[in-house]
Amino acid sequence: MLFMQIVSIFSWKIPLGEGIEKIIDFIIENFSGPIELFTGLIDFLIENFEIFIMDGFPISHLIVNIILITIFIYSRKKDKKVALYTGAGMLVAVFIASFFYGFELIYSMGHPFLVISAFALIAWTAKSYRLAIFVVLGLALMWNIELWEEVIETLALIITAVLVALVIGIPVGIIKAHNKYVHYIVRPILDFMQTIPPFVYLIPALMLFGLGNVSGTIATVIFAIAPPIRLTYLGITQVDDEIIEAGKAFGSSWWQMLFKIELPAALPSIMMGINQCIMLALSMVVIASMIGAGGLGEPVRLALSRIDIGLGFEAGLGVVIIAIMLDRIFGRNE
Amino acid sequence: MAEKVIEVNNLFKIFGKNPEEAFPLIEKGLSKEEILEKTGNTVGVNDVSFTVNKGEIFVVMGLSGSGKSTLIRCINRLMEPNRGEILIEDTDVSKLSKEELMNFRKEKFGMVFQHFGLLPYRTVQKNVEYGLEVKKVKPSTRKKRAREAIKKVGLEGWEDQKPQNLSGGMKQRVGLARALAVDPDIFLMDEPFSALDPLIKKEMQDQLLELYEEVKKTTIFITHDLNEALKVGDKIAIMKAGKIVQMGSQEEILTNAANDYVRDFVKDVDRSRVLKARDIMIKPKTLLKPDQGEGPRTAIHKMRENEISSIIVVDKDKKVMGILKIEEALKILQNKDDENLKKYIKEIPRVDPGDTMDDMFAQIAELDIPLPVVDKNDELMGIIIKSNVLSNLAPEKVI
């Protein structure tokens, strides 16, 4: 009798999987409102980034675009002249392009010609003309092999995912650096998110957010959020003690310490976190396509199921080109 | 004149999980090591009290681990003291709330750090502006005051450089300018020149003293170098294992070492560069005052009585007229030349009370007559003779 009981104890399975299922079911049943709201927000972001880059745009948006790029360049180069020349150059480029493709182009920001020249200009002013040449050749190749829409959708997905990851990740990293309890809670969660196979959380993401870009983005955020948190934390905790003391000794408040001392001193580390985040987000493109996310992942998945070597290679090359382009633009200056 | 600015009373700082555990043991008089072994707490600052007057440079000296850096950090509460009072112009810093402390630091303290503590991502100008920026001073005023401070430390033309492009000495000038720019009441200097090489260090000390001639700021200055302490300090405290073992003026520290610890420090000091004429001069045993009718006979009598071979001659205002040697005095008697006493008085070199022994060496070497120490009006303050020079150069007082 006793023997049987011992055997039955050892053969009892802890209902871990069932538990997780129940938790997800509970969330779906009770929090459908907030989830829908969140889904809507993410969807809105992705669509708008896509529209922003690709679809028809009125002229006012075009000008907003040019101004944004000018500000971006100014923030990178700290040189008003370069930024203004670039902005003016872009306007000229738009007009020259309109001679080739007709004046209705001015009403549409989406023409690949403009997108390519915009990225090339960013690459040129942020880094070097060599990178600009690479961007032009790479993106033009994508345009030529008719993967342009996928490239744009991938960019929109990545920008959204990275944006969400940074908006959550950097503040969490900051809090983690200042509060050891948060640190001890967040650390195992990050370990978990970084090491669990992404396929595993595709399923609950699918159940919570449905098939499509939103689930893909959420999965990407989970996959890519660890580096910005970790590197923000690392950057802030590694700030030289004497600088911290100097800041305090001159009477800085908590916010002044954060914005004038800690974040600027940790900036190289945070930038590395952003860069890593982008790279990880890109590597999720193909996996996310399994739950209906669009972009370059889709042709890769199709190629896999059809054993289409050519298509698979083309789409894969697109991911590589975007990866190199973003890595160089957001990477550290050598 | 002697207005108290800083007063520290019975300050304790104990590192560890349960600082309170350590207090009964401190009261029993256990050593730092014993307390660490028994409670796991480290005594940083142990019952320190001192006062600093307005415009004074108070030097805290000690080896590493003696608690001197902890002490200075307790003053502006970069570290929280466990017990004790820190009165700055009647405000008890240890009782201020977070908010009050922040504002107090803005107004009162300027701090200079051993490794400069400069913000590497800011230019020299922006670094110097930092304290003013925190105080929310208008950008235009801020710029102006930062430029003035940069000029004071002699770094004009370097405003737009990043700290990484500067040498150690220049970096510390930036640190100094940053503290100067906010124009605080009190300077806290934590081993400001310790990371610099000896030549630059000397230059910086000189510059600091030069700056202080313009505006004398109440200063707490931490160092592990006794020569530096003696050079810049008005008052010196020597710390060991968290306690102040001796406190006093330069001469007091040098001449009356309180215990072996202080004696060990003092032993290595190049006394010739530290001791000044005023520290080693003695009161002349006797003087010749012709204005009171004293003549050659009195002179000979005085010299015989005091067993000396020459006598300093002063007028009625105590101004030094010169020296009369015994041979000369005898000559006057032989020649019966009493009226021309002045002819026999020899002119002699004089020294300033602030001259160091180093400065006086040339004169001292050839000294067979006393060297008068005179003030600005040529009035006699004291004399220096060879024997007291030599006894002062010996590391321990030879009696």
Contact B114 A242 (CB under 8 A): yes
Q: How far, in Å, CA of A25 to CA of A227, rounded?
A: 30
Q: Domain for residue B358, yes or no?
A: yes
- The contact set of B with A (CB < 8 A) is 73, 76, 78, 102-107, 109-111, 113-122, 130-131, 133-135, 178, 182, 188
DSSP string covering A90-126: HHHHHHHHHHHH-GGGGG-TT-HHHHHHHHHHHHHHH
Residue B126, pLDDT score: 93
Q: Domain for residue B229, yes or no?
A: no
- Residue A112: Cβ-neighbour burial (10 angstroms; 0-12, 13-18, 19+): middle
Average pLDDT over residues A182-190: 94
Integer CA distances (angstroms), B328 to A166, B116, B258, B363, B383, in order: 96, 63, 47, 22, 21
Work out the pLDDT band at B373, boundaries 50, 70, 90. confident
Q: How far, in Å, CA of A297 to CA of A315, rounded?
A: 8
Question: Partners of B11 in the beta sheet?
Answer: B48
A240, A249, A267: residue with CB nearest B105: A249
Residue B196, pLDDT score: 86
Average pLDDT over residues A139-164: 88
Average pLDDT over residues B83-89: 90
Q: Domain for residue B232, yes or no?
A: no
Q: Domain for residue B283, yes or no?
A: yes
Q: Domain for residue B380, yes or no?
A: yes
Residue B367, pLDDT score: 67
Residue A101, pLDDT score: 57
Percent of chain B at pLDDT exceeding 90:
30
Q: Domain for residue B314, yes or no?
A: yes
Q: Encode pLDDT of B280-326 as tens digits.
A: 788 888 888 888 878 888 888 888 888 888 888 888 888 888 888 88
Q: Domain for residue B47, yes or no?
A: no
Residues of A in contact with B102 (CB under 8 A): 251-253
In this predicted structure, the answer to whether residue B164 has a pLDDT above a threshold of 80 is: yes
Reference B251, options B266, B264, B239, B261; nearest CA is B266
Strands B186-190, B109-112: pairing is parallel
**Across A1-5, A276-280, B33-37, B142-146, least confident range:** A1-5
**Number of domains within chain B:** 1
In this predicted structure, the answer to whether residue B385 has a pLDDT above a threshold of 90 is: no
Residues of A in contact with B105 (CB under 8 A): 248-251
Q: How far, in Å, CA of B381 to CA of B279, rounded?
A: 11
Work out the pLDDT band at B231, boundaries 50, 70, 90. confident
Residues of A in contact with B107 (CB under 8 A): 251
Residue B260, pLDDT score: 78
Return the residue of A nearest to B75 by Cα.
Answer: A249
Q: Domain for residue B316, yes or no?
A: yes
Which domain range does residue B308 map to? 279-393
* Average model confidence (pLDDT) across chain B: 85
Work out the pLDDT band at A31, boundaries 50, 70, 90. confident
CA of B108 vs chain A CAs: smallest distance (Å): 9
CATH number at residue B300: 3.10.580.10
Average pLDDT over residues B22-35: 83
Q: Encode pLDDT of A55-83 as tens digits.
A: 544 555 566 667 767 776 676 666 677 77
Work out the pLDDT band at B142, boundaries 50, 70, 90. very high
Residue A331, pLDDT score: 75
Work out the pLDDT band at A106, boundaries 50, 70, 90. very low
Residues of B in contact with A246 (CB under 8 A): 111, 113, 117-119, 130, 178
Residue A57, pLDDT score: 47
Q: Encode pLDDT of A93-105 as tens digits.
A: 766 665 665 545 4
In this predicted structure, the answer to whether residue A252 has a pLDDT above a threshold of 60 is: yes
Average pLDDT over residues A128-149: 89
Work out the pLDDT band at B397, boundaries 50, 70, 90. very low
Q: How far, in Å, CA of B390 to CA of B399, rounded?
A: 12
- ipTM of the modeled complex: 0.70
Pick B118 or A38 by higher pLDDT: B118
Q: How far, in Å, CA of B62 to CA of B74, rounded?
A: 16
Residue A191, pLDDT score: 92
Pick B35 or B396 by higher pLDDT: B35
Average pLDDT over residues A108-135: 78
- Domains of chain A with bracketed CATH: 49-144 (no CATH), 148-330 (1.10.3720.10)
Residues of A in contact with B131 (CB under 8 A): 250-251
